[in-house]
Amino acid sequence: MQLSHRVAAAFAHPLCWSLFGLTGLTSCGGGDSFAPTDALKVVPQGTPPFISSVPLQGVRVKDLAAVHYTIAPKPGASARPVDVRYTIDALSRRGNVDVANDQVALPVFGLYAGYANQVSIELTYADASTQAMSIELTTAAYADPNAIYDRPTILKAREPGSALGFDYLALKNMNGGPIIIDTDGAIRWVAPAAVTDSTSTAFFANGFEVGAKDSTVLWRFELDGTVTPTTLDNQSGYTNFHHNIDHGKTGLLVELDRQANGAQQLESTLAEVTPDGSVIQQWDLAAIFSDLMRNGGDDPAAFVRPGIDWFHMNATTYDPNDDSLVVSSRENFVVKIDYQSGRIVWIFGDPTKYWFSFASLRAKALSLPAGDLYPIGQHGISITSGGNLMLFNNGLGSLSQPAGTSAGDSRDYSAVSTYAIDAATLSAHEVRRFDHDRTILSQICSSAYQADDHQSLLIDYAVADNRTHTRLMGLDPSQNVAFDFEYPTTPCTTSWNAIPVPLQALTFE
């Protein structure tokens, strides 16, 4: 490609710059006659094409305060621009600043593949003055090795300007690392090949934390492509991560299998950990429920069954309103426990299931008014900005109860249910429900999350159409469908869970 030696700039200071170390691609000095409508054209290096590094030279690093870039959307696109700001401290910690040679390596991620991306860069100095330039980054095409993510079926395209509280989303999947797409269905970031399964993933501190499925390694994926493995400080016999990773009180809520007391504890151990692998606190749900049941006069051995997937933890969330944890047991119910003591506050689930036959558990049960939906086989629980409990209400009854006991009800559709809960009266009621006119059943996996303080929702029907398709759907604050994408899947592989990620407004401090 012919490279132009021009940059469109509005400078408060003269700027010397160099991109990718290519000879001849330098210009500097005040008073240069840059044409304001031209843009420097360069070919970014490295793979995948969604990430590039833009070296800037002669930028008076000692006076630099921040670097900010935006990537212009394609014509007709609905997603807001990728918009990222780095403080100079954040770039320095990443090793991207060379004071001696007066240069900065700017990580640019979120690029379109196979496209001439228009990128605006602004430098801010300590005296609040600024320099601005525009560059064109032409990227290579990308072919998804799974033959899935680069070819969505757009059942409903998002309209430009439509009201939606998010523009980018990450797909947790069983085909590899997390993948970011925008609300137009375009891939905008793919994790480097370090994991084969990103089921256990959280977006945390502007990067991804991914737990290994066969070990206690916690992988850190930075958006600039950096990958760092950490092993959990393991004093409790942890063997592997499973299901989700969620945000905790200060760190990450991770769901773990472990060996303890001579038995395999399946999907009933929760821990809060830091990204460096330190364990802050642990909750053994088998012990917590055994204590409650013994104190209530029941035999816990009939319910808590080590070596069997009796609990099946699949999601958790921290509730700052009362310093508690809400934990999803797909097999049984949703349970709230006190963060410090592990005391059970309430239990919320289908009262026709086996668990309700125990007086000690029944005494903690929340009741619902007639017509409201109990959580059944739920996933993706969270606390909304209004302080309510929201979850993907799958509708599939229990799969691992003792022979001859009740698996509870099953529905022929899935819903997203939001509940207001009164712990004092042990009562709840649905304050919001979306069931798409009862036309979609996604029996397992799946998720629903609110976008920050907005009322917009991202819904992942992981196994729609008899477990053959994943449906990704965005709802605006009025619960109108803003977009609807479909991908082929085998059960839970394409996107078992999906979360909004704020590429439209990221700041690295």
Buried b (16+ CB within 10 A) or exposed e, 302-318: ebbbeeeebbbbbbbbb
- DSSP for 223-268 reads TTS-EEEEE---SS-EEEEEEEEEE-SSSEEEEEEEEETTEEEEEE
- DSSP for 33-70 reads ---TT--EEE---SSSTTEEEEEEESS-GGGEEEEEEE
User: Residue 20 has what pLDDT?
Assistant: 36
User: Residue 48 has what pLDDT?
Assistant: 74
Mean pLDDT score of the chain:
91
Structure tokens at 24: 């001849």
If one compares 352 and 18, the residue with the highest pLDDT of the two is 352
Are the beta carbons of 375 and 327 closer than 8 angstroms? no
The predicted-structure confidence for 251-285, as pLDDT tens digits, reads as follows 999 999 999 888 899 999 999 999 999 999 999 99
Q: Is the pLDDT of residue 1 over 80?
A: no
Structure tokens at 443: 């029996």
Report the 10 Å Cβ neighbour count for 352: 14
The predicted-structure confidence for 188-235, as pLDDT tens digits, reads as follows 999 988 999 999 999 999 999 999 999 999 999 999 999 999 999 988
Query: Average of pLDDT values for 365-389?
Result: 97
> How long, in residues, is the chain?
509
Q: Is the pLDDT of residue 3 over 70?
A: no
- Element holding 98 (H helix, E strand): strand 97-98
Q: Is the pLDDT of residue 34 over 90?
A: no
- DSSP for 125-184 reads ETTS-EEEEEEEEEPPP---TTSSTTS-EEEEPPPTT---S-SEEEEE-SSSS-EEEETT
Query: Average of pLDDT values for 75-83?
Result: 97
Are the beta carbons of 414 and 392 closer than 8 angstroms? yes
Structure tokens at 10: 């509005």
What architecture does CATH give domain 8-138?
Sandwich (2.60)
Q: Is the pLDDT of residue 31 over 80?
A: no
Tell me whether domains 8-138 and 153-508 share a fold.
no
Give the confidence band of 47 by pLDDT, cuts at 50, 70, 90.
low
User: Residue 440 has what pLDDT?
Assistant: 98
User: Residue 173 has what pLDDT?
Assistant: 98
User: Residue 494 has what pLDDT?
Assistant: 98
**Percent of the chain with pLDDT strictly greater than 70:** 91
Q: Is the pLDDT of residue 36 over 50?
A: no
Query: Average of pLDDT values for 497-503?
Result: 98
Strand partners, 328: 315, 334
Structure tokens at 136: 């064109």
Give the confidence band of 27 by pLDDT, cuts at 50, 70, 90.
very low
The predicted-structure confidence for 240-249, as pLDDT tens digits, reads as follows 999 999 999 9
Give the residue extent of every domain in the chain.
Answer: 8-138, 153-508
Write the CATH number of the domain with boundaries 153-508: 2.120.10.30
Three-class DSSP category at 502? coil
Q: Is the pLDDT of residue 405 over 70?
A: yes
Residues 6+ apart with CB under 8 A from 452: 165, 166, 385, 500, 502
